[in-house]
Amino acid sequence: MRKKRSWLSWAILGILMGWGLAGNFIVLPVQAAQERTVQTGSAEKAAVFKPLPGPKKKCWIDDTVYFTYEFNEKPKMGMVILKVQIFSKKGDKIAPFLIKGRSDMPSMRGAHDSGDQDFKLSRRNDYLLPLNIVMPGDWEVRLTFLKGETPVFHASLAFHV
Ligand SMILES: [Cu+2]
């Protein structure tokens, strides 16, 4: 009885795997690279962070939405507030995304990595994130814009302290 059952479960597993493999063989050649960048690894690794122009410059997310960023003061040692504002094409300030920010020093990647932090949305629809600048040098903040749980845009801004 026991033997028979395990034989059966192997057979079922085999069939399921067979289907899975067949599916892969059919799908992979067709969808190739795109599929792979989207699905494998974490979104973090696959993501390409588009380098941004300077503060207050328009950065288009798509045809209808752009954003700007700026700091509350010239970045220096200590706490600096990064502000992101999102606008419709017409120029209305809107808040259609969640934004995460991750600061670090590219020259010593990981040494001051803040990890992904949520921007806080103010009543004025400003997205705000405090950055802790602990060392002079070149800094980077990686921004991820999300619709629900899904990252829809990645961007990177750089500044010097
Ligand atoms: Cu450092």
111 CA to centre of ligand 1 in angstroms? 6
| Domain match, 34 and 89 both | no
106 CA to centre of ligand 1 in angstroms? 8
83 CA to centre of ligand 1 in angstroms? 23
| Domain match, 28 and 81 both | no
Question: CA 59 to CA 67: how far, in whole Å?
Answer: 5
> Residue 120's pLDDT is what?
98
Global pTM exceeds 0.85: no
Mean pLDDT, rounded, for 122-145 = 98
| Domain match, 62 and 32 both | no
| Domain match, 133 and 109 both | yes
124 CA to centre of ligand 1 in angstroms? 33
29 CA to centre of ligand 1 in angstroms? 44
Mean pLDDT, rounded, for 146-153 = 96
Confidence of residue 47 (pLDDT cuts 50, 70, 90): confident
- The CATH number given to whatever domain includes residue 104 is 2.60.40.1930
| Domain match, 48 and 14 both | no
Contact 93, 86 (CB under 8 A): yes
102 CA to centre of ligand 1 in angstroms? 15
158 CA to centre of ligand 1 in angstroms? 14
| Domain match, 52 and 12 both | no
**Residue found by looking up tokens 């479960």 in the block:** 9
77 CA to centre of ligand 1 in angstroms? 12
Q: Which domain holds residue 11?
A: 2-40
| Domain match, 58 and 130 both | yes
132 CA to centre of ligand 1 in angstroms? 12
What stretch of H or E contains 157? strand 150-160
| DSSP annotation of 64 | S
138 CA to centre of ligand 1 in angstroms? 8
| Domain match, 90 and 28 both | no
> Residue 23's pLDDT is what?
36
| Domain match, 49 and 77 both | yes
Confidence of residue 160 (pLDDT cuts 50, 70, 90): very high
| Domain match, 86 and 116 both | yes
The total domain count for the chain is 2
| Domain match, 35 and 78 both | no
| Domain match, 36 and 84 both | no
Contact 105, 139 (CB under 8 A): yes
